[in-house]
Amino acid sequence: MIELTAHPRGTILPVRAQAGARRNGIVGEHAGLLRVAVTAAPEKGKANKAIVEVLSDALKIPKSSIELVSGDTSSQKRFLIAGVDAETLRTAIERSIAG
């Protein structure tokens, strides 16, 4: 189960990034992290921007509501999903993983 954390502005979503993948998308869950694959290279923030795009498309959340709060250069990242409570986010994630 993905370890979502409440935040005064929304919910913190932990992500395990896989840059340089064959295609963009949410690949599943592992060790409490949402696994997101992106084709972008992990340089100059390209992969981080691609992850925001994937999260926005897959979870039906505006890009402006998704903010990287930690892990800028790490494969383990934390994103703030502003204005979305944990249960709503969990439902969107489960729907996205299910296909």
Q: Give the domain CATH number at 52.
A: 3.30.1200.10
* Alpha carbons 10 and 23: distance in angstroms, whole number: 29
Which helix (H) or strand (E) is 49 found in, with range? helix 46-59
- How does the average pLDDT of the chain come out, rounded? 97
Instruction: Give, in degrees to the nearest 5, the angle at Cα 34 between 59 and 50.
Output: 60
Residues 73, 95: Cα–Cα separation, whole Å = 28
Note the pLDDT of residue 82: 98
For residue 61, what pLDDT is reported?
96
Tens of pLDDT along 51-99?
999 999 999 999 999 999 999 999 999 999 999 999 999 999 999 998 7
Q: Cα 54 vs. chain centroid, distance in angstroms?
A: 8
Q: Over 90: is that where the pLDDT of 22 sits?
A: yes
The reported pLDDT for the residue numbered 98 is 87
Count of domains for the chain = 1
* Domain housing 94: 5-98
Question: Could you tell me the pTM of the whole model?
Answer: 0.95
28: pLDDT confidence band, cut at 50, 70 and 90?
Answer: very high
